[in-house]
Amino acid sequence: WYYTVSGEFTTQFLNNYGTNTWTMKSSLFSPAKLFIGLGIDYKKTNRKKGYDLSVLVSPLTVKMSYLYDIDNFKPSDYGIDEGKHFGKELGSKISANLTWEFSEQVRWTSKFYYYTDFTYVDTDWENTLDMTLNNYFTTSIYVHLKADDRLERAPGEPLIQMQELFSLGMMYRW
């Protein structure tokens, strides 16, 4: 266990559009988030079993949000007052990272993130399974679950969003 002060900055680098539309969902610095937290970090590594685990619990976290483009995006979706670019919240954050190498050919990576300011919950869970099939082919299976109960949803639209990806690649080493 380690006492820790943590910081994390995230933003979108390229524009993101809705499915089959030209409606922008996010862009550079729209939004941008900065987390500064005080808490504890647990780290466990077992080389024999092939895993690395890190769990960060920050019961005191300040989340600062910035929205550059307030004309095309709703500031209230990001915890920012209407007509303003900047907002801040006080809450709690938990993040966990696990990398587990079952063998030289199979590796599982899992990232979990949970933030709440006690009025809403924002959470992500990413899982990637990388497999080397032989000397020439690799494959990856990626599943990403996301939930943010602050966002407005149409009736019948699920709270949990899911993205999955299957990739088959060819490699050559010399």
Residue-wise pLDDT for 48-102, tens only, equals 888 999 999 999 999 999 998 888 888 887 778 888 889 999 999 999 999 999 9
Do residues 54 and 86 touch, judged by C-beta distance below 8 A? no
Region of 118 (left: φ > 0; alpha: ψ -120 to 50; beta: rest) is left
Region of 83 (left: φ > 0; alpha: ψ -120 to 50; beta: rest) is left
Q: What is this structure's pTM? A: 0.81
* Residue from 19, 31, 22 nearest 73 by CA: 31
- The per-residue pLDDT for 109 is 97
